[in-house]
Amino acid sequence: MKNKDEIESATSIPAAVAPTASARVRLRPLDPTGVVIEDGLLAERQRVNREVTLLRGAEELERAGTLENLRIAAGRARGSRRGMVFSDSDVYKWLEALAWEIGREPSAELERLAHETIDLVAAAQEPDGYLNSWCQVVDPAWRWTDLEMGHELYCAGHLIQAGVAFARTTGDVSLLTVARRFADLIVDVFGSDGHTGTDGHPEIEVALVELYRQTGERRYLEMADTLTSRRGFGTFAGGRFDLPYYQDAEPVREARSIVGHAVRALYLAAGVTDIYAETGDEALLGSMLRQWDDLVSAKMYLTGGIGSRHHDESIGDPYELPPDRAYCETCAAIASIMWNWRMLLVTGESRFADLLERTLYNGFLSGHSLDGESFFYVNALQSRTGDRRHNWNPVACCPPNVMRLLASLHHYLATTTDTGIQLHQYASSRIRAVCPVAGPVELAVKADYPWSGTIEVEIVSTGDVEWTLSLRVPAWARAAILDGAPVTPGGYADLTRTWRVGDKVTLEIDVSPRLTAPNPRIDAVRGCLALERGPVVYCFEEQDLPADADLADVAVDPAAEPVDRGPVEPLGGVPGVAVAGVVRDLDGWRQSEYRDLRELPAASAAPTQLLAVPYFAWANRNEGGMRVWIPTTD
């Protein structure tokens, strides 16, 4: 195996996303080893991930046979391969999570698990660099024959991301060496004179760019660009799904809208944004901006969740956003966070950090139980009968994806430019940054965010020069005050000063609860309102209703002011919100679905106070119905 020095790096930043020095980015990630989330909701999620979820991952990968598949491929075990064709990627995502977590804080147990598993992965690799337990165990002739649904390059992408993560956090390049050998084979096979196909499931693109960034080898970037440019010519025509599903209906540079399988669309978008960052190909950025605008104007759920259809896990038509049959795969939320972080780096625009925040606190966190033991694959905004998170899934893409994002959450708090530091996400934290003008700077942030909107930033260390501290003021805020003066929501509040150690600034964002209305074109939630508090979307759980009330019969008074109602203890003390509403008596409708408008039954309604809890925390108590959107009393 090579050691770290033998692999030349084009980047000096050991973060999950690490643009090269010449990348077209307005903002640069920090070295995450200098960032610690110390307290609050995000710290608690990282703790649970470390202490519970990552270890469950090891058990479940064993129980599902996913690790055993690699042992069989490595000749260390005998038996039949189990699980989905793409299940190797579950191991790689879990390894990536281990890498970020070990980088965050060493752990003998996690390091042992990582070492053993990397050794296993290396042992399973073929002499020519190929690595895929389905092909190796089930059918060696299958190699590269099912690009539509085979997920070979997809799995390779996750292997590469894991290899890069270990190289960046522990300096151990053993997994990166495995990944590079496979990547080199892929470049040989899929390079310009070779196989002209691309993968039915994007993912390798974002991985190959990072491999380029990690190794300095431009051919990986070129391979990512080539694979991307092969899309949109109907290669997958006649396949199991339609062309948009595979991101194969329009060439990426010409795409007018965001379509198809949500995770495929969003992984590709993350990769394309990275390719733009490293190549400066403006057609790619133009496509990304068009797709993002299309997403947020007509195809995204209030939770940041994406994917309106179960049938093909796809983004639906514009305004097709059913709350009950929302798909909103947890992986799609994670992919959206990946994409928005890259768009933020490239553009420096706060709207991308706003959407990252919306997705993080809602459509992403809902996928992980508070105790860290179970997961939602689908994150609906309404359930009539209640849902239960699963310990693991036959398609287990989401759980290890949750783990790798939680283990690297601190990568996404802040950035630097030549002239300053930008805070995008708020948490009680220590942030060390090196900015060309200011030199090394350390900030101490105190923020019981998202529950409180008060953010105190103290300068712990700074050079004696002028630099700019930028604080994101979310667009959802009704008001915000920075050191006593109002600032406009929807951008960054910039403070350019010659900072001194001990200087403090306080940003106060109004996080008081508010009612939110949907675009009238969103048919499925017409006549309803939602309740938000700061960046957190709330929901109504059946178990919080008055006895005998049915969640189907509840309505909210649009004139009412929702008010805080103190911590909901069984949910770890998250703040509840109360709002005035009614429980309608629909007895007159029994046994009939449709009535002549002239002959509607008499209606009555009993006033009540409705308790709402954060959407991400639903389905953590008793099983029962839930809804984000509530009809109005009008």
- Residues 6 or more apart in contact with residue 130 via CB below 8 angstroms: 136, 143, 182, 185
Does the protein bind a copy of itself through residue 605 (CB under 8 A)?
A: no
Smallest gap, in angstroms, from Cβ of residue 427 to a copy of itself? Answer: 25
Torsion of CA 212, 218, 223, 229, to 10 degrees: 110
If DSSP codes are grouped into helix, strand and coil, which group holds residue 500?
A: coil
* Cα separation, 182 vs 131, whole angstroms: 7
Q: Pick the closer one to a copy of itself by CB: 11 or 314.
A: 314
Interface residue with a copy of itself among 528, 539, 577, 579 (CB under 8 A) is 528
**Torsion angle, alpha carbons of 338, 365, 260, 229, to 10:** 10
524 lies in the site for a copy of itself, by CB under 8 A: yes
Residue 548 within binding range of a copy of itself, rule CB under 8 A = no
Give whichever of 218 and 526 is closer to a copy of itself, judged by the CB atom: 526
Q: Does residue 240 touch a copy of itself according to CB under 8 A?
A: no
Q: Which stretch binds a copy of itself (CB under 8 A): 89-97, 170-178, 408-416, 521-529?
A: 521-529
Rounded CA-CA distance 168/605 in Å is: 60
Contact stretch for a copy of itself (CB under 8 A) within 9-17, 68-76, 158-166, 589-597: 589-597
CB of 243 to a copy of itself, least distance (A): 16
Cβ(421)–Cβ(402) below 8 Å: no
Closest separation between CB of residue 345 and a copy of itself, Å?
23
From the list 498, 519, 604, 622, which residue makes contact with a copy of itself (rule: CB under 8 A)? 519
The contact pattern for a copy of itself, residues 382-421, with x = CB under 8 A and - = no contact, is x-xx------------------------------------
From 155, 331, 397, 398, the catalytic residue: 397
The residues that bridge with 607 in the sheet, in sequence order, are 582
Applying CB under 8 A, among 21, 108, 547, 597 the residue interacting with a copy of itself is: 597
Closest approach of a copy of itself to the CB of residue 65, in Å: 16
What distance in Å separates the CA atoms of residue 31 and residue 302, rounded to the nearest whole number? 32
Catalytic residue, chosen from 148, 203, 217, 313, is 313
Catalytic residue flag (residue 539): no
Q: Is 356 in the site for a copy of itself (CB under 8 A)?
A: no
CB atoms within 10 A of CB 339: 29
Interface pattern 449-478 for a copy of itself (x via CB under 8 A): ---------------------------x-x
Could you tell me which stretch among 255-263, 339-347, 404-412, 592-600 binds a copy of itself (CB under 8 A)? Answer: 592-600
| Maximal C-alpha separation, the chain | 81
Minimum Å gap between C-beta 421 and a copy of itself is 30
Output 174 or 336, the one with its CB closest to a copy of itself. 336
Return the residue of 127, 192, 520, 548 that touches a copy of itself, per CB under 8 A: 520
**If binding is defined by CB under 8 A, does position 595 make contact with a copy of itself?**
yes
Three-state SS for 57? helix
Q: How far is the C-alpha of 251 from the C-alpha of 248, rounded, in Å?
A: 7
Min. distance of Cβ 301 from a copy of itself in angstroms? 9
Sign of the Cα torsion 236, 240, 243, 246 reads negative
Helix or strand holding residue 293 (H, E): helix 282-298
CA 304/CA 368 separation, integer angstroms: 16
522 binds a copy of itself (CB under 8 A): yes
Structure tokens at 481: 């005050």
Q: Which C-beta is closer to a copy of itself: that of 128 or that of 523? A: 523
Only one of the segments 171-179, 335-343, 380-388, 422-430 lies at the binding site for a copy of itself (rule: CB under 8 A); that segment is 380-388
DSSP state letter for 127:
T
Task: Give CA–CA dist 121/88, Å, rounded.
Answer: 10
Angle, in degrees to the nearest 10, between helices 350-358 and 282-298: 50
**How many angstroms separate the CA atoms of 62 and 211, rounded?**
28
- The distance of closest approach from Cβ of residue 352 to a copy of itself in the complex, given in angstroms and rounded to an integer, is 15
According to DSSP, residue 581 is labeled: E
Q: Are the beta carbons of 415 and 421 closer than 8 angstroms?
A: yes
Burial (CB count <10 Å: 0-12, 13-18, 19+), residue 528: buried
Binding mask 290-309 for a copy of itself (x = CB under 8 A): ---x--xxx-x-x------x
Q: Does residue 16 touch a copy of itself according to CB under 8 A?
A: no
DSSP, collapsed to helix, strand or coil, labels residue 23 as coil
For position 378 contacting a copy of itself by CB under 8 A, the verdict is no
Q: How far apart are CA 330 and CA 335, in angstroms?
A: 9
CA dist 175 and 181 (Å) reads 10
Pick the closer one to a copy of itself by CB: 76 or 526: 526
Q: Rank residues 33 and 516 by Cβ distance to a copy of itself and give the closer one.
A: 516
Query: H or E element: which one contains 612?
Result: strand 604-614
User: Applying CB under 8 A, which residues contact a copy of itself?
Assistant: 293, 296-298, 300, 302, 309-311, 317-325, 382, 384-385, 476, 478, 514-530, 552-553, 558, 584, 586, 589-598, 600, 631, 634
Give the residue numbers annotated as catalytic, written as ranges. Answer: 313, 397
